[in-house]
Amino acid sequence: MPRALIWDVDGTIAETERDGHRIAFNQAFEALGLPWRWNVALYGELLHVTGGRERLLHDMRSRGDAPAPGPARDALALELHQRKNKAYADIVAQGRLPARHGVKRLVAECQAAGVKLAVATTTSRSNVDALFASLWGVRWQDIFGVVICAEDAPAKKPDPLAYTLALRGLGVTAEEAFALEDSPNGLHAARAAGIACGVTRSVYFADAAFEGACWVRDDLDSAPAMTLARLL
């Protein structure tokens, strides 16, 4: 049994990308009078870029009506990203992003068994706070002792930084930890930090290849349910 379980957030805890961030990005475009919209398929392509602001800047490179590269483009990306995160918090507060199957059960099992819980994500801290408060209440940090977010780890997945920082915070070695991810970028980040990783594919990565994963499945609850004893 691992001593620590490190969770990715987007796509792993909940289907936040399709049903949360994507919709919130579109609300931000609309609020600023921009005709840009990210449909489900286009957003899936853009997801290879981790980080919401980075994703915006990437998309602007192929848009003729985006400001020229430089301070104006950077400022627009920043404003859109801030508005997106606010809209995302509103979506979460409306209870529109439930936990994926088995997430709460496995977290409770870790608590009961004394397995440490941590988060390693490339999303902004405000997004984690909003989502986790909605799922585990305002004292969610009593459950997840170490929380590494975009602000802590500017080098985004597949870079291993978020995971190496999580290990340091937990005070465990890579061999003593286990990671849960939904995407190839996330899996590569965990593996690059030397951590064994299981994959619960989210909608956007249903057909992706996950070489190097301990196991790959559609959720934590489908039979046989993924328990602590089965992780490794």
- Alpha helix ranges (H) inside 9-51: 16, 22-31, 40-46
Looking at the Cβ atoms of 21 and 81, the one nearer to Mg ion is 21
Which of the stretches 8-16, 26-34, 35-43, 213-221 binds ligand XBP when contact is defined by CB under 6 A? 8-16
- The structure tokens 């459950």 sit at 143
User: In the 8-state DSSP scheme, what is residue 67?
Assistant: P
Looking at the Cβ atoms of 59 and 181, the one nearer to Mg ion is 181
Residues 104-163 that bind ligand XBP (CB under 6 A): 121-124, 127, 150, 157
State in Å, rounded, how far the first CA of the chain is from the last one.
Answer: 7
Q: Count CB-CB contacts under 10 A for residue 17.
A: 23
Q: φ, ψ for residue 99 (rounded to 5)? A: -65, 150
**Does the N-terminal peptide bond of residue 35 adopt cis geometry, omega within 30 degrees of 0?**
no
Looking at the Cβ atoms of 66 and 193, the one nearer to Mg ion is 193
CB proximity list for 168: less than 8 A, separation 6 or greater: none
CB of 149 to ligand XBP, least distance (A): 8
Interface pick for ligand XBP out of 10, 15, 59, 159 (rule CB under 6 A): 10
Determine whether 129 is an active site residue. no
Q: Draw the binding track, 39-78, toward ligand XBP (x: CB under 6 A; -: no contact).
A: -----------xxx--------------------------
Do the Cβ atoms of 165 and 181 come closer than 8 Å? no
Residues that bind Mg ion (CB under 5 A): 8, 10-11, 182-183, 186
Q: Pick the catalytic residue: 8, 59, 159, 182?
A: 8
Looking at the Cβ atoms of 10 and 59, the one nearer to ligand XBP is 10
Do the Cβ atoms of 160 and 50 come closer than 8 Å? no
Residue 164 interacting partner from ligand XBP, Mg ion, none (CB closer than 5 to 8 Å by kind): none
- Is position 186 an interface residue for ligand XBP (rule: CB under 6 A)? yes
Do the Cβ atoms of 131 and 13 come closer than 8 Å? yes
Q: Count CB-CB contacts under 10 A for residue 22.
A: 23
Determine whether 182 is an active site residue. no
As a residue count, the chain comes to 232
Question: Active-site positions?
Answer: 8, 10
List residues near ligand XBP by CB under 6 A. Answer: 8-11, 17, 21, 50-52, 81, 85, 121-124, 127, 150, 157, 183, 185-186
